[in-house]
Amino acid sequence: MGNLQGKVALVTGASKGIGAAIALELASKGASVAVNYSGSKSGADKVVAQIKAAGGKAIAVQADLSNPDSIGPLIDAVSKQLGPINVLVNNAGVYEFGAIDAITPEHFHKQFNVNVLGLLLTTQAALRNFDPKGGSIINIGSVAAAGVPAASTYSATKGAVDSITVSLAGELGAKKIRVNSLNPGMVETEGVHTAGIIGSDFQKKTEAETPLGRIGQPEDVATIAAFLASDDSYWVTGQTIRASGGARL
């Protein structure tokens, strides 16, 4: 189970939810993991403590990816403390649903600055510190990329992530760097609980429309991310992989 032994992974937005589950899963496979967080130091420290308690290696690194000036120091800290990066998981993101008449420039830029620009600039900086032998970039998108009512801005950011993935896969293939999108459906996370979705009619409707009969758990996404991070997926790049139990949205 150590197919990531000797690898260095950076997971952005990893203090909770899907990001935390991915960090824990990569560490369980042998990777040294940098757990990035924006505001929740306690959450990131908890993830690091769990990894260390299981015998793994991890560090917590603060950086707000909506601020371009914080990205260089993030990558420098990871490289200095853990070494060249083999795996980058662009998980950090924000979502704020709203009907068309509620959209404002602030609403737009808040999401695009993290979900799209932050992803691009983090990837750009990480590539300068990537292992020359290559590796894997995993962009966490969403099935919402297909378009969700009252979520046009968020859906647009995730559609952009899918396009970026295809572009970078073509651009970075010669460097032996694979780039894929991993697009979850509804997943039970802290944010979903806070939004009041768990136990709602929306959850029941989603489950009824999901062939596998339930919403996802963070671990369901994390195991797929571990596969994409490993050399077992050496022939997979430029792909959008839906992790939704078969649900279309």
* Residues 142/184, Cβ–Cβ less than 8 Å: yes
Quote the CA–CA distance of 234 and 161 in Å, as a whole number.
21
Hey, where are the domains in the chain? 8-189+217-242
pLDDT at residue 202 in the model? 85
| Range 46-70 average pLDDT | 98
The helix (run of H) or strand (run of E) holding residue 185 is none
| Range 25-34 average pLDDT | 98
pLDDT at residue 201 in the model? 87
25 pLDDT exceeds 50? yes
pLDDT at residue 119 in the model? 98
Sequence-separated (6 or more) residues with CB below 8 Å from residue 209: 247, 248, 249
Confidence at 67, pLDDT banded by 50, 70, 90: very high
Q: Which two tokens stand for residue 158?
A: 């995730």
Q: Render pLDDT for 121-136 as a digit per residue (tens, 0 to 9).
A: 999 999 999 999 999 9
Catalytic residue (choose from 37, 95, 154, 234): 154
Confidence at 1, pLDDT banded by 50, 70, 90: very low
37 belongs to the catalytic site: no
CATH second-level architecture of 8-189+217-242? 3-Layer(aba) Sandwich (3.40)
Mean of per-residue pLDDT scores for the chain: 95
Q: Render pLDDT for 179-205 as a digit per residue (tens, 0 to 9).
A: 999 999 989 888 888 878 888 988 889
pTM for the full predicted model: 0.95
Q: Render pLDDT for 142-173 as a digit per residue (tens, 0 to 9).
A: 998 988 888 899 999 999 999 999 999 999 99
